[in-house]
Structure 1
Amino acid sequence: MADYFDLSGKVALVTGGSRGLGRAMVKALAECGADVIVTSRDAASCAEAVAEVEALGRRGWAIPAHVGRWEAIDELVEAAYAAAGRIDILINNAGNAPAVAKSTDMTETLFDKTVGLNFKGPFRLASLVGERMVAQGSGSIINVSSTGAVHPEPEFAVYAAAKGALNIITKGHALEYGPNVRVNCIMAGPFWTDISKSWREEADKTINSAARRIGRPEEVVTAALYFASDHSSYTTGTVLTVDGGQR
């Protein structure tokens, strides 16, 4: 069965790959044979993630970047192709979810930062990489969204709206870059990561889902590996919910 997730000879770029779900995906990609470019704003954490990739016998590159900024994304793409020569798998994982008590508390700066990192950045990165994937004849783009897009909470409404837009552009880009480039999305529910350390321990008991618990990072990686592998060749434009049956 491991052959279904064989990514030998592939190069992946993972944004927000230095921690949380992104870090778990980076490790899983390398374990399945992929070389991995890791990017986030934290250069030291990127280097740590790359060290894990190299310890698995794969090539890794740490390229720090702020993927909420248009010009930084252009520079990231040039640096990534200069380092690795190609990108076969792009995972748009970076995101943030700042909370405000009410909509009038949302400043223009915070609004732009939230939309920039959660939608504008993934849109621009997928656009640039998608065109190059078309030219090389194949590729897989994986966006990481949130169930907040369909279960929005008032204090996270702008974040939810940006993730909803990411769901929509997944289909748009699948149509634009197909048939040889696939574009899919993982709409993730709550997961235990370093970002969720502030959650109360009781959250596992009170979460309203069929699984009745919060997910573990390793429980999302197989969805990413499926979309990354050639065995998902007939799956594109899809938003896959991984949330433990959230209500």
Structure 2
Amino acid sequence: MSNIKQQFKLEGKVAIITGSSKGIGKAIARGLAENGATVVISSRDQDACDTVVAEFETAGLKAIGIACHIGKEDQRQNLVKQTVTQLGGIDILVNNAAINPVFGPLEDAGEAIFDKIMEVNLKAPWMLSNRVLASMRERGGGSIINIASVEALTPGMGLGLYSTSKAALLMLTKNQAKEWGKHGIRSNAVCPGLIKTKFSAALWQNEKILQKIEKTLPSGRMGMPEEMEGLVCLLASDAGAYMTGGVYTADGGYMIAG
């Protein structure tokens, strides 16, 4: 076994990160690229992808941008096909893109909202993972990292359908790990707590809610997107070679807060 610094290195690896034009996805993409991977920046807007790619290239990092609405099958197919064509294959998939269009009681959400949440937060990671399977098998293995949420582990208020979609994502992760281990493919889930992103702005921009949350957290503060990088780099690399089917929190102690 090589030394620990070598094990974290990702030179020659290709990583797709969905929803990576901003927030947690962008931070994760940067972390993987800084460790040597060539990253595929992907979000619905090609211009937004290109902006991040230019920023990364200026920093000496390897990146390409491929727009993809992960809720659409033809675009998922194109993302995988283009990545394989341009970069030769796929070693790492980070299913990060997600939506939460509603905040409120379960009974107030319409059926269309339910379908939309499940389409993007659960069906898309399942389908996209299936799509990268062939390339990972060909390359002798790979790492799938599904970004879930502490909401998958304990119910909050007003996020019922989002929580349900993320809880299902954890079981998908475990099934991927169990079924695809024979191909050298590992699958793990990361559950961030409250992280300062546009996605969670409704929570942290409300001073009263933020103070209430931070008061209960052992860390005493919300997290930053960059604080998700280390865990994902571990799970993506040989340093995490024996880690599969796991669910890992990065939540400032939210899950133990009273």
TM-score category, normalised to shorter length: over 0.9
- 1:178 match: secondary structure: helix
- 2:162 match: secondary structure: helix
Report the CA distance between 1:54 and its aligned residue.
1.5
**Runs of 4+ deviating beyond 3 Å:** 1-4, 201-205
Q: Which of 71, 74, 85 matches 1:71?
A: 74
Which is worse superposed, 152-161 or 118-127? 152-161
Q: Which of 206, 213, 217 matches 1:200?
A: 206
Q: How does 1:65-104 map to 2 (within 5 A)?
A: 65-104=68-107
1:24 aligns with 2:27: yes
Match of 1:158 in 2: 161
Q: Which of 159, 175, 179 matches 1:176?
A: 179
Match of 1:188 in 2: 192
Report the CA distance between 1:24 and its aligned residue.
0.5
Report the CA distance between 1:53 and its aligned residue.
2.4
Structure 1 residues 84-127: Cα deviation after superposition (integer angstroms, max 9, x where no partner): 11111110000111224333322222111111111100011111
Q: Which of 223, 226, 234 matches 1:226?
A: 234
- 1:23 match: secondary structure: helix
Q: Quick one: structure 1 residues 192 and 100, their matched pair in 2 at CA, closer, same or farther if it must change by over 3 Å?
A: closer
Q: Distance in 2 between matches of 1:123 and 1:228?
A: 18
Q: Distance in 1 between matches of 2:61 and 2:13?
A: 10
Which is worse superposed, 162-171 or 80-89? 80-89
Paired residues of 2:91 and 2:139 also in contact (CA < 8 A): no
Q: Which of 109, 122, 127 matches 1:124?
A: 127
Report the CA distance between 1:68 and its aligned residue.
1.7
One-letter amino acid of the structure 2 residue matched with residue 212 of structure 1: G
Report the CA distance between 1:213 and its aligned residue.
1.3
Q: Which runs of 5+ in 2 are unaligned?
A: none
State TM-score, norm by structure 1. Answer: 0.93
Match of 1:242 in 2: 250
> How many residue pairs are counted as aligned between the two chains?
247
- 1:195 match: secondary structure: coil
Paired residues of 1:27 and 1:52 also in contact (CA < 8 A): no
Paired residues of 2:49 and 2:66 also in contact (CA < 8 A): yes
Report the CA distance between 1:174 and its aligned residue.
0.6
Question: Root-mean-square deviation (CA), in Å?
Answer: 1.7
One-letter amino acid of the structure 2 residue matched with residue 156 of structure 1: L
Q: Quick one: structure 1 residues 144 and 79, their matched pair in 2 at CA, closer, same or farther if it must change by over 3 Å?
A: same
Report the CA distance between 1:192 and its aligned residue.
0.7
Paired residues of 2:105 and 2:160 also in contact (CA < 8 A): no
- 1:187 match: secondary structure: strand
Q: Which runs of 5+ in 1 are unaligned?
A: none
Structure 1 residues 186-234: Cα deviation after superposition (integer angstroms, max 9, x where no partner): 0111101233344224555321322121111111110000001111111
